[in-house]
Amino acid sequence: MAILNGGRILKHTTPLEATKEIEGQIWTKIIERDDLEGIENTYNVLSSNYNQDNTLNVRVHATEKPADGFVQTAAQLDDVYFIALKQDEPVMA
Amino acid sequence: MKLIISNLTKTYKNGVKATDNLSIEIGTGMFGLLGPNGAGKSSLMRTIATLQSPDSGTITFGDINVLEDNMSLRKVLGYLPQSFGVYPKMSAEDLLDYFASLKGISSKTERQQIVKEVLEITNLYEVRKKNVAGYSGGMKQRFGIAQLLLNNPKLIIVDEPTAGLDPAERHRFLNVLREVGTNSTVIFSTHIVEDVKEL
């Protein structure tokens, strides 16, 4: 498989290899909705999902535990995809 | 046979770079091209399928120079665009027979045989007498695969085939692609991560 964006190949790999590459680097935390902006400004947030109680599950990419409260979780192909797209975003001056 | 794309660049008149010095090698089997809307997936596929020309770069498939010898590539190509039309009052079987004639299979017996074969591969044999226009989205996509299999293609390009399909149909469709991918190079594009998980 390959991940494509902006007319360029960002990653050419297999799903298995791709997830193995980031194993141990995906962290989750349940946060309050109001805390999302702060978390996004501080950490490399890949995705966030609402829970029924109005809290959010955030998935963060970091080589080490980002902070207390984060729990390491298994890497998924969605993480690989979001990491590739985030790394491709233009850097704001 | 290997598809080799080297330094492919295509910029549209509005300045959008559809492909930006893109290079990749793809071998036999099923290959998923994953990307968001507007990533350049369709442009890349249309270029490989010889439907548009790049500004620069090369594409070879086996010993075919794709950009210089469109016709040789088209003989071994099966292409399914994102959307396609069908004649409203024709059954799948009749329509496939018609397509087989257009693809140069003049023997009726040979046509009947290949039509039966592709209907079976795509799990449409039981509904072959129904009008294709009345098929569900997933069945129509499988019909699209059936028609492209008529000329026994070595390179199959399928553009966003799972968009809009329910999970069961998606699963069924991807299994059909996997089956045809055992002997051919199958490239399919998608923006659904789940579609490429098992490649």
The DSSP result for chain A, as a single string, is: -EEEETTEEEEE--HHHHHHHTTT-EEEEEE-GGGHHHHHHHS-EEEEEE-TTS-EEEEEE-SS--STT-EE----HHHHHHHHHHHTSPPP-
Q: What are the chain A neighbours of B22 within 8 Å (beta carbons)?
A: 7-9
Per-residue tokens: B101: 């004639």
Find the residue in B nearest to A18 (Cα): B197
Count other C-beta atoms under 10 Å from residue A86's C-beta: 12
> Using CB atoms, which residue from B23, B32, B39 is nearest to A6?
B39
Cβ pair B24:A2 closer than 8 A: yes
Give CA–CA dist B53/B67, Å, rounded: 7
Q: Is B39 on the interface with A (CB under 8 A)?
A: yes
Quickly state the pLDDT bin for A50 (edges 50, 70, 90).
very high
Q: Which of A67-76, A78-87, B55-64, B136-145 has the lowest mean pLDDT?
A: B136-145
List alpha helices for B54-136, DSSP H.
Answer: 70-75, 92-102, 108-121
What contacts A50, CB < 8 A, 6 or more positions away?
A33, A56
Quickly state the pLDDT bin for A93 (edges 50, 70, 90).
low
Q: Which of B64, B197, B152, B57 is nearest to A13 (CA)?
A: B197
> Using CB atoms, which residue from B22, B41, B199 is nearest to A15?
B199
**Can you state the angle between helices B137-149 and B167-180, rounded to 10 degrees?**
10
Averaged confidence pLDDT in chain B: 93
Do residues A77 and B195 make contact, with C-beta atoms less than 8 angstroms apart? no
Q: Per residue in B20-49, is it b (16+ CB within 10 Å) or e — as a string?
A: bebebebebebbbbbbeeebbbbbbbbbbb
Cβ pair A15:B197 closer than 8 A: yes
pLDDT-above-90 percentage for chain B: 78
Phi-psi region at A6: left, alpha or beta (left = phi > 0; alpha = psi -120 to 50): left
pTM of this prediction? Answer: 0.91
What pLDDT is attached to residue B64?
A: 97
Task: Please state the rounded mean pLDDT for residues B152-180.
Answer: 90
Hey, CA dihedral for B65, B69, B70, B72, is it positive or negative? negative
Q: Is A87 on the interface with B (CB under 8 A)?
A: no
What pLDDT is attached to residue B108?
A: 95
Q: Is B41 on the interface with A (CB under 8 A)?
A: yes
Residue A59 has pLDDT above 90, yes or no: yes
Per-residue tokens: B148: 């492209």
Give CA–CA dist B80/A44, Å, rounded: 38
pLDDT tens string B132-159: 999 998 899 999 999 999 999 999 999 9
Per-window interface: A 14-43 vs B, CB < 8 A: 14-15
Q: A39 — phi, psi (to 5°)?
A: -65, -40
Per-residue tokens: B178: 């996997």
CB neighbour class for B6 (10 Å; exposed up to 12, middle 13-18, buried from 19): middle
Q: What is the ipTM of this complex?
A: 0.89
What pLDDT is attached to residue B183?
A: 87
Q: Helix or strand or coil: residue B199?
A: coil
What contacts B10, CB < 8 A, 6 or more positions away?
A7, B17, B18, B19, B43, B47, B52, B53, B54, B55
Q: What are the chain B neighbours of A6 within 8 Å (beta carbons)?
A: 17, 20, 39-40
> Using CB atoms, which residue from A4, A14, A15 is nearest to B40?
A4
Task: Please state the rounded mean pLDDT for residues B58-63.
Answer: 97
